[in-house]
């Protein structure tokens, strides 16, 4: 908020080890189309615990880019789930 950086505007960004410089490009007036990216990672875990990378496995990673949903499953997932629709999402290998 302090830097007044807004979605859909163009900026020039320069980074060095001590600072990042962000300047708005006022000569570019056409708005950029925003892209939405979201993801979710499902893991095995002990009850009432957070996942631990040392002992837990990734079961599934689902992600969405501008409304297109994809699911990736780990090798430990039962192959009988292939083609199943769960919560509106198709499980694919």
- At residue 82's C-alpha, the angle toward residues 81 and 85, to 5°, is 75
Tell me what the pLDDT averaged over the chain comes to: 78
Please give the model's pTM, rounded to 2 decimal places. 0.44
85 — pLDDT class (breaks 50, 70, 90) = very low
Please state, in angstroms and rounded to a whole number, the distance separating the CA atoms of residues 22 and 76: 45
In this predicted structure, what is the pLDDT of residue 88? 47
Domain ranges of the chain: 37-90
User: What is the tens place of the pLDDT at every residue in 31-75?
Assistant: 767 788 888 888 888 889 888 888 888 888 888 888 888 887 766
């Amino acid at each position: 908020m302090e830097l007044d950086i807004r979605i859909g505007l163009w900026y020039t960004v320069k980074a060095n080890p001590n600072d990042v410089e962000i300047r708005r490009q006022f000569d570019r007036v056409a708005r950029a189309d925003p892209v939405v990216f979201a993801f979710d990672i499902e893991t095995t875990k002990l009850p009432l615990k957070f996942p631990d990378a040392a002992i837990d496995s990734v079961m599934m990673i689902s992600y969405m880019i501008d409304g297109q949903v994809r699911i990736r499953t780990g090798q430990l997932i039962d192959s009988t789930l292939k083609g199943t629709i769960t919560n509106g999402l198709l499980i694919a290998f």
